[in-house]
Amino acid sequence: MNLGFIGLGNMGNPMAVNLIKAGHKVTVHDLRRESGTNLLEMGADWADTPKDTVPGNEVVFTSLPGPREVDAVVLGEDGVLQGAGKGSIYVDLSTNSPNAIRRVHQICAEKGVAVMDAPVSGGVTGAAAGTLALMVGGDQAVFDRIRPALGAMGSHVVYCGAIGAGMIVKLCNNLVSMGNGVLLAEALTLGVKAGVDLAVLSDVMSNSSGASYRLTNSFCNSLFKGNTAPGFATALAAKDVRLATDLGRELGVPMDLSNLVDQRHVEALFRGWGAFDSVVVAYLQEEKAGVQLRIPGL
């Protein structure tokens, strides 16, 4: 397929790499041309504006930080919609607000442009390996048409329902993941302060009912090593948690624990940790408990 791809950051770049490796012809755009150097070396074409990613391409993807950036890239001056026409397909891989993507869908539909939401999960490692989970919302016939491209980026591609359904599933998933991180930090600092070796505690929990992806992947690969390089940045985690709690308020769903998780992420942002991996939220618990969760030699 001929594809456009906008947003070549930590997630977008490796996803675009996998599209090229799968044999798709890709046109790329980012605010920083140097972000696409490796892709251009692989044979990708460069577009000077989001609008320029559309001509000659069957689908245009975006991988962007959030709703504001998506609106600007799709609906703004020299945006995707200005270059699109009847039959064009736009797919948002970002984690966005369900209402925001529905609004984009409605505006684009007036011009005959199909919009799909397809947020991803699996972090930078999954993006590089092509093993992401993709949660897709929109018209099922369009989903069937673009599935070969989606399959090049992820190994678990799921049609979730009408437009916005993918975003809802992703927000629920990330809310649980970030909530697990906060609870894990409390449980682990408790165990360590009570005298148990962290490596032992982590090993047992990873192979018992307390196991979670947050423990066996994020904490073991980042927190326990003291590694704060962003696999999933705190600013993005905070944004996702807030989108989820906002949705809860909109729908009248009680979310007592989720709002506590939200505030913990707000505190981490206030500390200036937004660019660090989201595991740094556990540092707040470490400070309060007087315990550091590190495993030497891991």
Q: Could you read off the pLDDT of 203-255 as tens digits, one per residue?
A: 999 999 999 999 999 999 999 999 999 889 999 999 999 999 999 999 999 99
Residues 6+ apart with CB under 8 A from 295: 198, 199, 202, 224, 225
φ and ψ of 46, to 5 deg? -100, 140
188 and 219 both lie in a single domain: yes
- State the average pLDDT for the chain: 97
Provide the 10 A C-beta neighbour count for residue 177.
Answer: 20
Which residue reads 């905070």 in tokens? 238
Domain count, the chain: 2
195 and 62 both lie in a single domain: no
User: 125, 144, 161 — which closes off a domain?
Assistant: 161
Provide the 10 A C-beta neighbour count for residue 296.
Answer: 9
Residue at 298 is within a domain: no
Task: Tell me the pLDDT band of 79, cut-offs 50, 70 and 90.
Answer: very high
Residue at 295 is within a domain: no
154 and 6 both lie in a single domain: yes
109 and 246 both lie in a single domain: no
Helix 256-270 to helix 165-193 angle (10° resolution) is 80
Percent of the chain whose predicted confidence (pLDDT) is above 70: 100
14 and 156 both lie in a single domain: yes
Closest Cα to residue 122, out of 205, 10, 7, 39?
10
Task: Tell me the pLDDT band of 282, cut-offs 50, 70 and 90.
Answer: very high
So what's the pLDDT on residue 230? 85
Residue at 296 is within a domain: no
Residue at 297 is within a domain: no
Task: Tell me the pLDDT band of 120, cut-offs 50, 70 and 90.
Answer: very high
pTM equals 0.93
43 and 66 both lie in a single domain: yes
So what's the pLDDT on residue 81? 97
Taking residues 252-264, report their average pLDDT. 98
User: Rounded distance, CA 91 to CA 294, Å?
Assistant: 40
106 and 11 both lie in a single domain: yes
Residue at 173 is within a domain: yes
Residue 210 maps to which CATH number?
1.10.1040.10
So what's the pLDDT on residue 231? 86
- pLDDT tens for residues 140-198? 999 999 999 999 999 999 999 999 999 999 999 999 999 999 999 999 999 999 999 99
Residue at 94 is within a domain: yes
279 and 180 both lie in a single domain: yes
117 and 190 both lie in a single domain: no
User: 92, 126, 161 — which closes off a domain?
Assistant: 161
What is the SS3 string spanning the chain?
A: CEEEEECCCCCHHHHHHHHHHCCCEEEEECCCHHHHHHHHHCCCEECCCHHHHCCCCCEEEECCCCHHHHHHHHHCCCCHHHHCCCCCEEEECCCCCHHHHHHHHHHHHCCCCEEEECCEECHHHHHHHCCEEEEEECCHHHHHHHHHHHHHHEEEEEEEECCCHHHHHHHHHHHHHHHHHHHHHHHHHHHHHCCCCHHHHHHHHHCCCCCCHHHHHHHHHCHHHCCCCCCCEHHHHHHHHHHHHHHHHHHCCCCHHHHHHHHHHHHHHHCCCCCCEHHHHHHHHHHHHCCCCCCCCC
Domain that holds residue 249: 168-289
So what's the pLDDT on residue 228? 94
143 and 279 both lie in a single domain: no
Residue 99 maps to which CATH number?
3.40.50.720
Taking residues 246-265, report their average pLDDT. 97
- pLDDT tens for residues 12-37? 999 999 999 999 999 999 999 999 99
User: Rounded distance, CA 232 to CA 230, Å?
Assistant: 5
Residue at 220 is within a domain: yes
124 and 213 both lie in a single domain: no
The answer to whether 153 and 256 have CB atoms below 8 angstroms apart is: no
9 and 35 both lie in a single domain: yes
User: 98, 130, 161 — which closes off a domain?
Assistant: 161
Catalytic residues: 170
Residue at 294 is within a domain: no
Pick the more confident residue, 262 or 124: 262
